[in-house]
Structure 1
Amino acid sequence: MWRRDSEGRCICNACGLYERANNGQKRSLRQTRGKAPYKRPNQVCSNCSTRSTTMWRKTENGEEVCNACGLYYKLYQKHRPLELKRWLDDFFRMKFLQFKRSYKLLQIILKNELVVFLINLTYIPL
C-alpha cells in the first residue's frame, strides 16, 4: 500500500504511518551511523590503562574501568590481571599472522599447481 506524504510525494505505507504518528519523516538509513568505540577525553582505565572501550564501568570502589576489566571485576571480585590482556592481545595477533601466513601459502600452492597443470597440458610425450 502506498500513501502520500505532506508534500504530496508517494511513500510506502510504513513511512506514511510513521509520519502521521510522529509529525515528521523517518530518518533515512544514510543518516544513521554505526557505533564507534567509546572514547572520553583523558579517560584511562585504572586497571589496564586502555583509552578506548565500548563502555566505561565503575567498580565498587568508584574506579573507572574499561568494559573488560569491569566485567572481570563483577564476575570474580578482583582486578583483571594485566597478563590476561597481554595474552589475549598476543593470541589474536598470532591468530591473524597464522591466517595471513596460511593464506599466502595457499596462494603459492595454488599458483604452483596451476603452473604444473599447464606444463602437463602442454607436454606431449613422444
Structure 2
Amino acid sequence: MAIEGMNHFTVISSDLGKTKAFYLGVLGLLEGYRPPMESTGAWLYAADQKYPILHIIAERPMPENASGVIDHMAFTATGLQSTIDTLKQHGIAYKLNRIKELGVWQLFCHDPDGARVELDFPADEPEPQE
C-alpha cells in the first residue's frame, strides 16, 4: 500500500446552515454532488476538483471534546487580502504568520463549531493591509 494524498476531512456541524455559510460564503468552497445518505449534510469541493475535500455531517451529536484528536485542517489558497477582508466582514478572528523559508503565509481561523482551519497562501502575495 502507498498513500497517494489526502482525500477529505469530515466535520460535525451543530448548525448545517451556519457551517455551510462559513465554508461556502467565507472560504469559497463549492457545494456539489452528495449521494443519497441516511444523514443530513453536504459535500464541498474546491474549484474544479473532481472529488469533495470536505464532508459535513449535521445529524450526529457533537462529541464532548469537540476538537477530537485532529488539531486542524489546512487548505491551499490564493487571495490573502480578499480573504482577510471577508473574514473581517463576517467578524471572524484570525491569526496570520509569514514563513518565508517555506514560501507561505499561514492564516488560522475557526469554523462555527470551533474546528481550526489553516489557509496557506503563497509567500509572494503582498503583505495585507490589516
Task: Indicate the structure whose relative CO is greater, using CA pairs within 8 Å and at least 6 residues apart.
Answer: 2
Give TM class, smaller chain: under 0.3
Instruction: From the CA coordinates, give the structure whose radius of gyration is larger.
Output: 1
